[in-house]
Amino acid sequence: MQDTTVDPISTLKPTKDCSGTRLAWKDIQIPAALLGSSDPLPQMLPLSEVAAPVKVDPDVPAELRTYLGYGVGNMPGDPCLPYSLQNNYTRERRPESFRVAILENEHLKATVMLDYGGRLRSLLHKASGRELVEVNPVFQPANLGIRNAWFSGGIEWNYGVRGHTPLGCEPLFAAEIAHPEGWPVLRLWEYERIRAVPFQLDFLLPPGSEFLHVRVGLSNPHAQTIPFYWWSNIAVPEAPEVRVLAPATSALRNKYSGGLEMANIPEQDGRDLTYSVRSPHSADVFFHIPDHTRPWIAALDKAGEGLIQTSTAAQRGRKLFVWGNSQGGQQWQQFLTEGNRPYIEIQAGVARTQYESFPFPAGARLGWIESYGLMKADPKTVHGSDWAKALAVVEDKLKTALPAEELEALLEATDDLFDTPPERILQHGSGWGALESLRREATGEKQMAMPGSPFPEATLGKEQRPWIHLLECGTFPHDVSADSWMTQQHWIDLLEKSDDDTWLAWLHRGVMRYHQGDSSGAKTAWQTSLDRKENYLAMRNLGKLACFESRHEEAARLLKQAHDMEPALESLAIECVGVLLETGHAAEALNVFDRMPASATRQGRLRVLKAKAALANGMTEHAAELLGADLVIADIREGETILNELWWELCAQQEAKGGLITEEIRRRARAIPVPAHLDFRQTA
């Protein structure tokens, strides 16, 4: 296995000015809420809730239905495994240092967040001083990602399975590569664990170029076709006069309330969908770009200026996402940042929509270039009533600034560069790619075919240690904690064939079995784990399984026992109280709070659960106090409605004054406006 030393970024000086292109490495200060440690509890969801197919209107043509639903979910019951949840953050911000790479030439300055998924934080057009993307002035995690934590702004790279990437808050490998002409290239790469696929990004900013080019490369190292997902998510400022254009006259639209339907572009149902502020609620608009049409998308202001994104042919999907101008949509806008900074997302993917993955053949490699730059077009035409002319004026400008043939030629011309191994790695990512290389070497399988993306043995660490021991010795070591999960089939086979009879081995067998949809086998494994050694993880997993299978009393008992064993773990307290409430034990839920430290109810979600328990016990005044204006759930989930539902329940109980709550009372309660701090609804 190739090993490459790391040069600490703090010791590096900016790359020498080379024909106008420079690459520098530095730390920047951003007000930030700390991410916190990962959750030790493996994510478990009911098997029945997995990957429900998206509803599709009968009018959607057959050609657009081919891959809808294909590969959009993970295995049953755990959309984030083998990753741990990142849910231990707050909303208390203070200045923190963030490591970035700055790639610039005469025209553009790109700032890339190395420790946070390679997010392109800023793309500055120097001559005009204009930021082409929305730059979030703070770092504020929120619960919109596959692993919970996600943050808004800039351009993120989403890959593997549907959703905001599990690596969005993780460091990537980073290196500097010298282009044959002498100018520097920024390279980022990692190994994605759900699909077990490596990926690579080369940021290219040639001297004199008015476009930043990002070359993306994927390799399927498996012996079978797999579903794969890629969407680049671009945040741009929102304003009443901003119009989003893409070369399409129809689209698939999801209004988050009725599934996918066909829509005309630009106007549908008397409303121009290309102006985001005219949307009352959150919505996805997937532009149907005809085959053999150059793909691009732009967000242009009243002067006809703004960001344009285009790509080589492989990346053909384009999308507009809007938060909507309802109270809930506006609340989300403010929740993700500081101050009044409304934004929308224009996105680009390999598939046509985000409700499908694309088939990635065995042993195949896939690459494309996506490009970002400033577009200036005649504003009267851009905002005119003739959609065809609006598209034509942008396409003509794009053709002059960056011909499609030139972009395809750049893709071909950088083939050798893309496969050139880095001479020095400036930052390490995780050790999971190195572990996969070790496994392949031990089993005689071909190595992952990405020569430009090495995974050095030096990256192997504490998380990989038990799996190395299993690979080499057939057992887990006895002095490790259960803080890393594995769901790849090769590791499942290895552990199931092992004679390891420890509590930890049985705990992992249970997680693996549940991941594969075998709840009975998981139950047996977790019970065996408890028999070998009492541990809160197996106890908790059995409690969750009992809850999913409607064994309510058993679920409540097991989760209470698990919580008693680990009372300081907030995520376990949340699950324990939640199950008690779901199973009709509201009084016991309040008793659990009595045994917690007073600081526990300052945690937003626990405070909400306490309010729910108070309402279930008729304690309306206490519930009203808990739902006061200072309540914040730091990790409220996109689409979650617990706050407005509790508000309406409170209103109903207040009107009933301890008496029977009739349907009429509930109807009147639901007509009472939801306070802004409790309103995160994205639909009517």
What are the pLDDT digits (tens) for 335-350?
Answer: 999 988 999 999 999 9
Report pLDDT digits (tens) over 285-333.
999 999 999 999 999 999 999 999 999 999 999 999 999 988 888 888 9
| Least confident span in 51-60, 501-510, 636-645 | 51-60
Tokens matching residue 522: 């998981």
**pLDDT at site 2:** 42
DSSP sequence for 60-123:
S-GGGTTTTTTT-S-STT-TTTTSPPB----S-EEEEEEEEEEEE-SSEEEEEETTTTTEEEEE
Q: How confident is the model at residue 15, as a pLDDT?
A: 46
d(CA 390, CA 300): 11
> In the 8-state DSSP scheme, what is residue 290?
P
Q: Could you give the CA distance from residue 601 to residue 210 in angstroms, rounded to a whole number?
A: 52
143: three-class secondary structure by DSSP? strand
Please state, as a whole number, how many other Cβ atoms lie within 10 Å of the Cβ of residue 188: 24
Token couple for 576: 């324990």
Q: Scan for tokens 């009968």, then name that residue.
A: 58
Question: What pLDDT does residue 636 have?
Answer: 92
Instruction: At 131, list the tokens.
Output: 């930021």
Read off the amino acid at residue 106. E
Contact, 123 vs 65, CB < 8 A? no
Fold annotation for 461-533:
1.25.40
171 CB contacts (<8 Å, ≥6 apart)?
A: 114, 115, 116, 427, 428, 429, 430
Which amino acid appears at position 34 of this protein?
A: L
- H or E element in which residue 604 lies: helix 604-616
Asked if 593 and 577 count as a contact pair (C-beta separation under 8 A), the reply is yes
345 phi and psi, to 5 degrees?
Answer: -120, 130
Please give the Cα distance from 79 to 301 (Å, whole number): 38
Tokens of 139: 């770092």
Query: For residue 32, what is the enclosing H or E element?
Result: strand 22-33
Q: Classify strands 365-376 and 305-311 as parallel, antiparallel or unpaired.
A: antiparallel
Q: State phi, psi for 120 to the nearest 5 degrees.
A: -80, 100
Residue 656's CB is within 10 A of a number of other CB atoms, namely 16
What letter does residue 14 receive in the DSSP assignment?
P
> What integer pLDDT is reported at residue 325 of this predicted model?
87
pLDDT at 1: 44
Q: Which two tokens stand for residue 572?
A: 């376990």
Dihedral pair phi/psi, residue 248, rounded to 5°: -150, 155
pLDDT at 3 over 50: no
> Would the CA dihedral through 557, 561, 562, 564 be positive or negative?
positive
Query: CATH 1.25.40 residue ranges in the chain?
Result: 461-533
- For 623, counting Cβ atoms within 10 Å of its Cβ (0-12 exposed, 13-18 middle, 19+ buried), the class is buried
Residue environment code for 31-69, b if the CB has 16+ CB neighbours within 10 A, otherwise e: ebbebeebbbbbbbbebeeeeeebebeeeeeeebeebbe
Quickly list H helices, 617-641.
Answer: 620-626
d(CA 319, CA 288): 9
Cα of 47 vs its chain's centroid, Å? 21
Q: Are 500 and 520 in contact (CB under 8 A)?
A: no
- Residue-level pLDDT at 8: 46
**Residue 16: band (very low, low, confident or very high) from pLDDT cuts 50, 70, 90:** very low
Other CB atoms within a 10 A radius of the CB of residue 180 amount to 10
For 112-132, the pLDDT digits (tens) are 999 999 999 999 999 999 999
- The per-residue pLDDT for range 580-629, each reduced to its tens digit, is 998 888 998 988 888 887 777 778 999 999 999 999 999 999 999 999 99
Contact 154, 122 (CB under 8 A): yes
Q: Hey, which residues does 358 pair with through a beta bridge?
A: 228
**Per-residue pLDDT at 5 exceeds 60:** no
